[in-house]
Amino acid sequence: MHSFWLAGKPATSDVVADVNHPGDGALVGQHYVPTAEQVEQAVAAAYASRSAFQATSAGARSDALTHIANRIAERTEEIAQIITGENGKPIIWARSEAARAVSVFRWAAEEARRFSGEAQRLDTEVATAGRYGIIRRFPTGVVLGISPFNFPINLVAHKIAPALAVGAPIIIKPAPSTPLSALILGEIIAETNLPEGSWSILPVSNDMAPGLVADERMPVVSFTGSDKVGFDIQKAVPHKHITLELGGNAAALVLEDWNSEEDLNWAAARTSLFGTYQAGQSCISVQRILIHESIYDTLSAKIAEAASKLVNGDPYDDKTIVGPMINEAAAIRVEEWVNEAVAQGATVLTGGTRDGNYYAPTVLANVPRDAKVSCNEIFGPVMIVDKVSSTQEGFDVINDSPFGLQAGVFTHNIQTAFRAHRELEVGGVIIGDVPTFRSDQMPYGGIKASGVGKEGLRWAMQDMTHERIMVLSGLDL
């Protein structure tokens, strides 16, 4: 039985929730659910801890973050097993996620020491002689972090780590279907000497989220999830600082110069793997593969063949690449979208079948560009291959989307790479690889319906703080 974390301390209640494995429904854990009164206590404690936490030294915060990183590393296999249990992602990806969480906290520890502000001469006019400015960033206030099911520890880490690095108290609401990884992380954070009340992890139901979002004591909201919920949050509290990491329908564009056997095999392997890994439940999972007409037939066949060989089964097996979806409703939705595309003229090159919560790795061709699987986020192990006649058409198709998270462009041409960087309406352009690439210290976030703000340690730290200038007067500069 897992306690939740109220103001940095383990807590229980009279309500217990079960957590079940998406693959077979087996019970993988239980946790106590905070009451409304306990949630209020956590928020009040976070609000009261603001000054004490802000006053801690950069070294103290960095040491705490380093300890967290080291302890996650020591408990990687245990955490990975919990991730697979509650989320259903194959154990190879769960281990990767746990390792990434280690990296996130290590980067936060380093950035905490570097987050120093800047100085500015103000004696640039005769009237301002003798004045000098020191600009530092201070926490805006308590952060409310709302995390999704698909990365149950790493996306929690991306909210907690930058908050701790800048000295901002944080309340985390993990996804109801995958709270155990966050609660284990709480065990590790509790080993540090962070100020009392400065953090809480509250596995409450989604119907409590609007009240938390509306609470004026938490002026920063960091949300990762669906675009509908994210923009509802933004509309509800437009005066708050909102970071939204939302959906996508990521495209990989393979151009005519990417045409050697080695090139084509690389593109096929990468797109098939990262269009289906974790059952496609990633915002930057490859969904649309746009292929120049000169290599379309060859590459589309290679992609379908590679996808058909991916092991779809027991997520605890080291050989499994594609596991179950988070629940049967999600798998049924994917099935319906694929069937609808087929009814509109699409061809199934491989896959296209469902078994309970499992959906087979699927590649579709001849998909109308206005089909749901083309223009919406499918969030499942489904890719479409589409033919383009030019670089311009490829760019136009990528940009003809309500989303703008990341895109991949397979090209050897440096001019095309810089043009893609300039013209593609996305938050990140990956050259020579899939849009699924993410290094946790880099700025990550999209535009349009993919959200606002950035993750990545230094950028998230900026999002959680504001500038404040101190002007020194009468100096002999």
**Residue % of the chain over a pLDDT of 90:** 100
Identify the CATH number of the domain in which residue 281 sits.
3.40.309.10
Residue in the structure block whose two tokens are 């990434």: 100
**Paired strand residues for 132:** 121, 472
φ and ψ at residue 279, rounded to 5 degrees = 60, 30
The mean pLDDT of 367-379, rounded to a whole number, is 95
Note whether residue 476 is domain-resident.
no
Query: Which segments within 321-427 are labelled E, that is strand?
Result: 347-350, 354-355, 358-359, 362-365, 382-388, 403-404, 406-410
**167 in the Ramachandran plot: left (φ > 0), alpha (ψ -120 to 50) or beta?**
left
Q: Would you say the pTM of this structure is higher than 0.85? A: yes
Note whether residue 157 is domain-resident.
yes
The mean pLDDT of 407-431, rounded to a whole number, is 98
The pLDDT score that the predictor gives to residue 332 is 98
The pLDDT score that the predictor gives to residue 407 is 98
Note whether residue 76 is domain-resident.
yes
d(CA 189, CA 199): 9
159-202 pLDDT, tens digit each: 999 999 999 999 999 999 999 999 999 999 999 999 999 999 99
Strand 288-292 to 251-254 pairing: parallel
245 labelled catalytic:
yes
Identify the CATH number of the domain in which residue 181 sits.
3.40.605.10
Residue among 170, 189, 156, 137 at smallest CA distance from 46: 170
- Judge if 282 and 411 occupy the same domain: yes
Residue among 296, 274, 301 at smallest CA distance from 286: 274
- Judge if 170 and 214 occupy the same domain: yes
d(CA 170, CA 153): 15
Q: Which positions ≥6 away from 240 have C-beta within 8 Å?
A: 218, 219, 220, 221
- Judge if 311 and 404 occupy the same domain: yes
- Judge if 16 and 110 occupy the same domain: yes
d(CA 10, CA 24): 30
| Structural contact between residues 81 and 94, judged by C-beta atoms closer than 8 angstroms | yes
- Judge if 419 and 460 occupy the same domain: no
Residue among 445, 442, 389, 395 at smallest CA distance from 422: 395
Catalytic residue among 283, 335, 377, 455: 283
The mean pLDDT of 53-82, rounded to a whole number, is 98
- Judge if 277 and 208 occupy the same domain: no
**Residue % of the chain over a pLDDT of 70:** 100
Q: Which two tokens stand for residue 333?
A: 């939705």
pLDDT band at 228 (very low <50, low <70, confident <90, very high): very high
Query: Residue 57 is which amino acid?
Result: S
- Judge if 462 and 361 occupy the same domain: no
Note whether residue 292 is domain-resident.
yes
Residue among 32, 23, 157 at smallest CA distance from 97: 157
- Judge if 179 and 235 occupy the same domain: yes
The pLDDT score that the predictor gives to residue 21 is 97
**Paired strand residues for 288:** 251, 384
d(CA 378, CA 451): 17
The pLDDT score that the predictor gives to residue 213 is 98
How many domains in the chain?
2
* Collapsed DSSP state (helix, strand, coil) of residue 215: coil
Catalytic residue among 86, 97, 111, 245: 245
The mean pLDDT of 256-276, rounded to a whole number, is 98
pLDDT band at 312 (very low <50, low <70, confident <90, very high): very high
- Judge if 135 and 262 occupy the same domain: no
Residue in the structure block whose two tokens are 């985390």: 172
Note whether residue 408 is domain-resident.
yes
Angle 296-308/261-274 helices, nearest 10 degrees? 50
- Judge if 83 and 207 occupy the same domain: yes
Ranges of H-type helices in 237-348: 261-274, 296-308, 328-343
Note whether residue 242 is domain-resident.
yes
The pLDDT score that the predictor gives to residue 12 is 97
* Collapsed DSSP state (helix, strand, coil) of residue 171: strand
pLDDT band at 459 (very low <50, low <70, confident <90, very high): very high
- Judge if 171 and 220 occupy the same domain: yes
Q: Which two tokens stand for residue 249?
A: 């329908």
| Structural contact between residues 360 and 324, judged by C-beta atoms closer than 8 angstroms | no
262 labelled catalytic:
no
Q: Whole-number mean pLDDT of the chain?
A: 97
pLDDT band at 121 (very low <50, low <70, confident <90, very high): very high
278-287 pLDDT, tens digit each: 999 999 999 9
**Paired strand residues for 355:** 358
The pLDDT score that the predictor gives to residue 152 is 97
136-147 pLDDT, tens digit each: 999 999 999 999
d(CA 83, CA 383): 25
Tell me the CA distances in angstroms from 59 to 2, 56, 66, 373, 458, one per residue in order.
Answer: 31, 8, 10, 49, 16
- Judge if 191 and 286 occupy the same domain: no
Q: How many helices (H) and strands (E) does the chain have?
A: 16, 24
Note whether residue 298 is domain-resident.
yes
Q: Which two tokens stand for residue 406?
A: 């990341």
Q: If you ran DSSP here, which 8-state letter would residue 322 be given?
A: B
Query: Residue 331 is which amino acid?
Result: A
Residue among 458, 475, 440, 469 at smallest CA distance from 162: 458
147 burial level (CB within 10 Å; 0-12, 13-18, 19+)? buried
The pLDDT score that the predictor gives to residue 411 is 98
The mean pLDDT of 397-407, rounded to a whole number, is 97
Query: What is the residue range of 161's domain?
Result: 4-246+450-470
Note whether residue 475 is domain-resident.
no
Q: Which two tokens stand for residue 197?
A: 């009340």
Residues in the chain: 477
Angle 91-114/58-74 helices, nearest 10 degrees? 170
The pLDDT score that the predictor gives to residue 259 is 97
Tell me the CA distances in angstroms from 290 to 4, 70, 420, one per residue in order.
Answer: 46, 42, 14
